[in-house]
């Protein structure tokens, strides 16, 4: 699911930028107000660290999620950074970013330490006229596919490319609102659809295992037990994966050459995405940040009163 969503976001937001700041986990909470046509989202980053060789440079980049920052990051362990800043004088503006800037309010929260003492941060996003933004974004994506500037799938076969161009020519909606949920609609040959589903299932298994481990650590800590002596059982147990799938409100439908992925809200009307990334956390940004090596200095911005549990209760 993560890979599929990144695929669509990466194609639509054609200005995404690679960043060396990484995070161990991200939680995205989204709530659609269909009457007001507004999408509200909270992005919570846990275990922020430098994934590059220049930690000093990444310390400066870290302030992008602090006060006055204009970037937010999406899902991947080599994150996609969407920058809403206005272009420098003489530089061309990106159409989707121009639309997002006009309709998006980005509120940067504070840095905080999560339950394991790791450097974390949060941001709130509000997008007005979200249905109009999706219409424009889908139109731009269709144009990009028809002009060869975007491929719907990596290493897609000729049949998939032909199908996608036909849909683009007809004004296809790749991302659409589905009540108070979201729907992603792909076109693919039988072979590519199988590859995409295998990719999604592989991601589900990885996320299920990481979710299981996180829950076990939390239970061990709450019980006051020694983590090293606790027998967590096997993360390869099929029951772990089945329970993870059952707890998450996503679905897919494969009919003919169309593959539809759906994200539905929970009982509170919130769509929740949890993403654990591959790389391991290192405190290489936390330590220098506390020692005041960041510019601007971060120690005063680490709010020790912020509790992760409250942030996630949207």
The pLDDT value given to residue 99:
79
Q: Report the alpha-carbon distance of residue 207 to residue 78 in Å, rounded.
A: 16
- Tell me the CA end-to-end span of the chain in Å, nearest whole number: 22
| pLDDT tens sequence across 54-71 | 776 776 667 666 656 677
The secondary structure of 206-244, three-state, reads HHHHHHHHHHHHHHHHHCCCCHHHCCCCCCCCHHHHHHH
Both tokens of 179, joined, read: 């009540």
**Contact assessment for residue 83 and residue 71, using Cβ atoms and an 8 Å cutoff:** yes
In this prediction, residue 125 has a pLDDT band, given cuts at 50, 70 and 90, of very high
The pLDDT value given to residue 300:
45
Give percent above pLDDT 90 in the chain.
20
Other residues' Cβ atoms within 10 Å of the Cβ of residue 105: 11
Residue 241, C-beta contacts closer than 8 angstroms, at least 6 positions apart: 204, 205, 208, 209
Q: Report the alpha-carbon distance of residue 168 to residue 295 in Å, rounded.
A: 45
Residue 39, C-beta contacts closer than 8 angstroms, at least 6 positions apart: 30, 31, 32, 33, 125, 126, 127, 130
Average pLDDT over the chain, rounded to whole? Answer: 79
The pLDDT value given to residue 77:
47
Given a cut of 80, whether residue 73 has pLDDT beyond it is: no
302 DSSP assignment: B
Q: Report the alpha-carbon distance of residue 289 to residue 305 in Å, rounded.
A: 18
Partnered with residue 183 across adjacent β-strands are: 176, 262
Strand locations in 210-292 (E): 250-255, 258-263, 271-276
Q: Report the alpha-carbon distance of residue 306 to residue 109 in Å, rounded.
A: 10
Judged by DSSP in three states, 284 sits in coil
pTM for the structure as a whole: 0.83
Both tokens of 51, joined, read: 């994934």
Instruction: Provide the CA 57 distance to its chain's centre, in angstroms.
Output: 23
Partnered with residue 127 across adjacent β-strands are: 39, 104
Q: Report the alpha-carbon distance of residue 298 to residue 122 in Å, rounded.
A: 15
Partnered with residue 30 across adjacent β-strands are: 41, 271
| pLDDT tens sequence across 197-247 | 888 888 888 888 888 878 777 776 767 766 555 555 555 677 778 888 777
Tell me the mean pLDDT in the region 275-279: 77
């Amino acid at each position: 699911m993560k890979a599929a969503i990144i695929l669509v976001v990466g194609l639509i937001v054609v200005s995404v930028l690679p960043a060396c700041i990484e995070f161990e986990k991200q939680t995205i909470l989204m709530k659609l107000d269909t009457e007001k046509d507004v999408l509200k989202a909270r992005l919570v980053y846990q275990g922020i660290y430098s994934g590059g060789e220049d930690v000093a440079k990444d310390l400066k980049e870290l302030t992008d999620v602090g006060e006055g920052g204009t970037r937010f990051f999406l899902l991947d362990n080599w994150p996609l950074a969407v920058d809403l800043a206005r272009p420098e004088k003489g530089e061309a503006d990106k159409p989707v970013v121009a639309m997002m800037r006009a309709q998006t309010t980005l509120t940067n929260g504070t840095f905080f330490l999560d339950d394991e003492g790791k450097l974390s941060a949060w941001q709130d996003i509000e997008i007005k006229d979200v249905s109009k933004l999706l219409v424009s974004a889908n139109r731009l994506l269709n144009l990009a596919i028809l002009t060869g500037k975007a491929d719907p799938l990596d290493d897609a076969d000729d049949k998939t490319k032909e199908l996608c161009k036909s849909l683009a020519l007809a004004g296809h909606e790749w991302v659409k609102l589905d009540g108070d949920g979201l729907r992603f609609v792909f076109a693919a040959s039988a072979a590519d659809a199988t590859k995409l589903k295998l990719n999604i299932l592989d991601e589900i298994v990885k996320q299920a295992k990481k979710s299981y481990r996180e829950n076990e650590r939390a239970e061990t800590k709450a019980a006051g037990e020694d983590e090293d002596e606790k027998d967590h059982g096997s993360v390869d147990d099929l029951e772990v994966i089945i329970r993870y799938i059952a707890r998450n409100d996503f679905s897919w439908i494969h009919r003919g050459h169309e593959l539809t992925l759906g994200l539905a809200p929970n009982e509170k009307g919130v769509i929740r995405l949890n993403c654990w990334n591959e790389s391991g956390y290192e405190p290489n940004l936390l330590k220098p940040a506390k020692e005041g090596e960041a510019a601007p200095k971060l120690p005063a911005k680490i709010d020790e009163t912020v509790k992760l549990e409250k942030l996630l209760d949207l």
